[in-house]
Each structure stands twice: as structure tokens, then as C-alpha cells.
């Protein structure tokens, strides 16, 4: 079994081998109704997240996949991640900043080639870099805010498995 490190990384992953049939573990997750956790099972996948009362903007969720190795053993793959809506929003912001940076770079190059002033474009490119750094810091602070809930999800998962 691989244990989570103390320093939780971006979208940390883990895996462990379990002795027993996968359906036993999948049904154990499905039957567990312990607040504040919400469990959803789709085929061999289990999604664990927090209920509305405990859920905040930075709340993580745990995605588990249990696959059968043989009749008596199975393997669990786990992935911590943010709410998919939040993840998509952050990817959209980063993509938008990168796109604007490239457009400003092309504009600055065109202006320089035509012997025109390009200070505005370079200044805006610098602003895009600062904005990207601000989003990065904002994301890191949010991840730190979600760490306690990440540990709760992991402990809950271990309670069900044992």
C-alpha cells in the first residue's frame, strides 16, 4: 500500500492492493451512508464528496476505481481532485491568459517590425504574467484550505476498506 505523503501534491494519486473481491468493496462503499459524505457509484468507479453543508468552494472529492486482479485480489486506484466545475474554471482562466499573452506577443512583434511603438503590448504581457502568478497563488491557497477535507476523505475511505 502506498501512503499519502505529508505534502499533498496537485491532484494526488495513490493505489493499493486489496485482498478480496472487488464487488465486496464496491458494495461496501455503496452501502455506507455516513454524513457528511456523499457516495456515488458508477460501474467500478466510486466518487466520494462532501454534502452541501460541509461543501465549500475549495472542497475536494475522491475518485476511486477498483479493478479485479484475480478472483481473490483487486487493486484500488485513488485520485483526489477539486470539484470538476472549479477545475474547468481554472483551466479556462489559464488558457485565456496564455492566449492573450500569445496575441499580445504577436501584436508586439508586428508593431516592432513596422517600427511602431510596442511598449503597451509588452506592458500588457508583463501584466498577463503577473495575473497568471496571482491565479497560481490563489489556487495554492485554495488547495491548502481543502487539505483537512482531503484527509477526512482518505480516513473515511480507509474505514470502509478495513
Q: Which triple of cell numbers denotes residue 134? A: 496571482
The answer to whether residues 32 and 63 belong to one domain is yes
Q: Residue 70: give its domain's CATH number.
A: 3.30.310.80
**Per-residue model confidence (pLDDT) at position 4:** 53
**Per-residue model confidence (pLDDT) at position 10:** 61
Domain total of the chain: 2
Q: Is the pLDDT of residue 5 over 60?
A: no
The answer to whether residues 29 and 75 belong to one domain is yes
**Per-residue model confidence (pLDDT) at position 144:** 87
The answer to whether residues 116 and 153 belong to one domain is no
**Per-residue model confidence (pLDDT) at position 151:** 93
DSSP calls for 50-98? E-TTT--TT-EEEEEEEEEEETTEEEEEEEEEE-HHHHHHHHHHHHHHH
The answer to whether residues 45 and 60 belong to one domain is yes
**Per-residue model confidence (pLDDT) at position 33:** 86
Q: Is the pLDDT of residue 32 over 80?
A: yes
Residue among 59, 69, 61 nearest 21 (CA): 69
**How large is the average pLDDT for residues 121-126?**
98
The answer to whether residues 76 and 109 belong to one domain is no
Write out pLDDT tens, residues 53-112.
999 888 999 999 999 999 899 999 999 988 888 889 989 999 999 999 999 999 999 999
Residue 17 belongs to what H/E stretch? strand 13-19
Rg of the chain over all Cα atoms, to the nearest angstrom: 22
SS3 at position 15: strand
The answer to whether residues 18 and 72 belong to one domain is yes
Query: 120: domain range?
Result: 86-140
Q: Which residues contact 122 (CB under 8 A, 6 or more apart)?
A: 104, 108
The whole-chain average pLDDT of the chain stands at: 91
The distance in angstroms from the start CA to the end CA of the chain is: 13
Is 24 among the domain residues?
A: yes
**How large is the average pLDDT for residues 22-45?**
93
The answer to whether residues 38 and 118 belong to one domain is no
Is 1 among the domain residues?
A: no
Least confidently predicted of 7-11, 25-29, 43-47, 103-107: 7-11
**How large is the average pLDDT for residues 5-30?**
82
Is residue 103 within 8 Å of residue 49, measured between CB atoms?
no
**How large is the average pLDDT for residues 104-132?**
98
The answer to whether residues 73 and 23 belong to one domain is yes
**Per-residue model confidence (pLDDT) at position 82:** 86
Neighbours of 4 (CB within 10 A): 15
Amino acid at each position: 500500500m502506498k501512503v499519502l505523503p505529508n505534502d499533498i501534491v496537485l491532484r494526488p494519486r495513490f493505489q493499493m492492493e486489496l485482498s478480496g473481491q472487488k464487488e465486496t468493496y464496491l458494495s461496501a462503499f455503496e452501502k455506507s451512508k455516513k454524513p457528511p459524505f456523499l457516495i456515488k457509484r458508477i460501474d467500478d468507479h466510486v466518487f466520494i464528496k462532501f454534502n452541501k453543508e460541509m461543501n465549500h468552494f475549495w472542497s475536494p472529492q475522491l475518485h476511486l476505481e477498483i479493478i479485479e486482479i484475480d478472483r481473490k485480489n483487486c487493486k484500488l486506484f485513488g485520485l483526489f481532485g477539486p470539484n470538476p466545475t472549479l477545475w474547468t474554471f481554472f483551466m479556462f482562466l489559464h488558457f485565456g491568459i496564455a492566449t492573450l499573452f500569445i496575441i499580445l506577443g504577436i501584436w508586439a512583434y508586428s508593431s516592432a517590425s513596422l517600427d511602431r511603438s510596442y511598449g503597451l503590448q509588452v506592458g500588457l504581457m508583463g501584466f498577463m504574467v503577473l495575473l497568471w502568478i496571482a491565479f497560481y497563488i490563489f489556487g495554492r491557497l485554495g488547495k491548502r484550505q481543502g487539505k483537512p477535507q482531503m484527509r477526512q476523505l482518505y480516513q473515511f475511505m480507509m474505514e470502509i476498506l478495513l
